[in-house]
């Protein structure tokens, strides 16, 4: 239950500071995870990106301000917009009409209520997982810096996989595979919580040339979840269930120490691997570092 309570505390922080610039690092601190993971988990649970949720809440509250008779320019400044034009654009994107029309009687408007997370115990569908303690291991591959805005990474990561397939990098990496983890990893990692990188890599002890980088995955206890099917839908649903069903009930919490999350695609899939959101993946795994709840 602590995880759900932390999420709701983070939502309360947003609401209390809705007229200020929302500090994503502070949100992550409240939720006891990194900013990257908070944005990722929020999007999966709420079915809307964090930045969009904040935008919707501001535009919902702006309706009340308009109907109280406040000036548009004052409301724009209140919610952090540099000009009435920028505010007008944001308002129309949410409500479909201009702020000036919202003041009139009989106009249909939208409101997006405050989110409240609750534990969801269904019990009707199984979640396949295993707990596994792994020693540190070396991965080698290619790397790209991730954006601080999680939404942007929905473009960066698929593009990176597509390029790696087309330029021969995937084929090159599969030739380096060895050991018990034969497959391709997609790894999000950060050393300082501020800057995140994404690796497409394989586990190996072989020598590499200068076109590749290496990274040591630390020794950790992993909760490993198994999935397969339409990549976007299946992975989205699995991560949502991990956060809302598995974590609150199984007695483990996210180990935020190493700041890492792993996707693993077995060797049997690599010939056709090109991770666009629409791709069908027969099998994949999500690895999350965990600690036993105290």
In whole angstroms, what is the distance from residue 224 CA to residue 222 CA?
6
- Dump pLDDT digits (tens) for 187-237: 988 876 667 889 999 999 999 999 999 999 999 999 999 887 665 567 778
Mean pLDDT of 37-61: 88
Question: Can you tell me which residue has the tokens 């909760």?
Answer: 223
**In the chain, what are the domain boundaries?**
2-103, 129-292
Q: What is the pLDDT, as a whole number, of residue 231?
A: 59
**CA 140, chain centre distance (Å):** 24
Question: What is the average pLDDT score of the chain?
Answer: 84
Biggest distance spanned by C-alpha atoms of the chain: 72
Confidence of residue 17 (pLDDT cuts 50, 70, 90): very high
CA-based angle 8:231:236, to the nearest 5?
10
Write down the CATH superfamily of domain 129-292. Answer: Regulatory factor, effector binding domain (3.20.80.10)
- Nearest one of 109, 64, 82 to 73, comparing CA atoms: 82
What CATH superfamily is the domain 2-103?
Homeodomain-like (1.10.10.60)
What the block records as the tokens of 251 is 């007695």
Q: Is pLDDT at 41 greater than 90 in this prediction? A: no
Distant-in-sequence, close-in-space partners of 168: CB < 8 Å, separation ≥ 6 = none
How confident is residue 12, by pLDDT bands cut at 50, 70 and 90? very high
Whole-angstrom Cα distance, residue 74 to residue 193? 36
In this structure, are residues 76 and 86 in contact, taking their beta carbons and an 8 Å threshold? yes
Which pair of tokens denotes residue 195? 């800057």
What pLDDT digit, counting tens, does each position of 99-124 carry? 988 888 777 788 888 888 776 555 55
């Amino acid at each position: 239950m602590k995880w759900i309570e932390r999420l709701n505390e983070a939502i309360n922080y947003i609401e209390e500071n809705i007229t200020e610039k929302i500090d994503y690092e502070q949100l992550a601190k409240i939720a006891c995870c990194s900013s990257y993971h908070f944005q990722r988990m929020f999007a999966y649970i709420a079915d809307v990106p964090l930045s969009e949720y904040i935008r919707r809440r501001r535009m919902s509250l702006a309706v009340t301000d308009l109907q109280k008779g406040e000036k548009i320019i004052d409301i724009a400044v209140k919610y952090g917009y540099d000009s009435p034009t920028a505010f007008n654009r944001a308002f129309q994107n949410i409500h479909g009409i201009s702020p000036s029309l919202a003041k009139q009687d009989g106009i249909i408007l939208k409101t997006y209520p405050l989110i409240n997370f609750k534990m969801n115990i269904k019990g009707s569908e199984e979640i396949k997982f295993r707990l596994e303690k792994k020693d540190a291991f070396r991965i080698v591959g290619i790397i790209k810096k991730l954006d601080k805005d999680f939404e942007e990474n929905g473009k960066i990561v698929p593009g990176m996989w597509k390029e790696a397939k087309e330029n021969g990098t995937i084929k090159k990496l599969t030739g380096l595979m060895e050991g018990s983890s034969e497959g391709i990893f997609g790894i999000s990692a950060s050393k300082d919580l501020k800057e995140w990188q994404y690796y497409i890599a394989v586990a190996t002890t072989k020598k590499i040339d200068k076109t590749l980088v290496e990274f040591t995955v630390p020794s950790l206890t992993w909760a490993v979840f198994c999935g397969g099917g339409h990549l976007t839908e299946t992975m989205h649903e699995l991560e949502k269930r991990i956060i809302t069903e598995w974590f609150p009930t199984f007695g483990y919490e996210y180990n935020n120490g190493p700041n890492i999350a792993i996707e693993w695609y077995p060797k049997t899939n690599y010939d056709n691997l090109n991770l666009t959101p629409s791709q069908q993946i027969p099998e994949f795994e999500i690895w999350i570092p965990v600690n036993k709840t105290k």
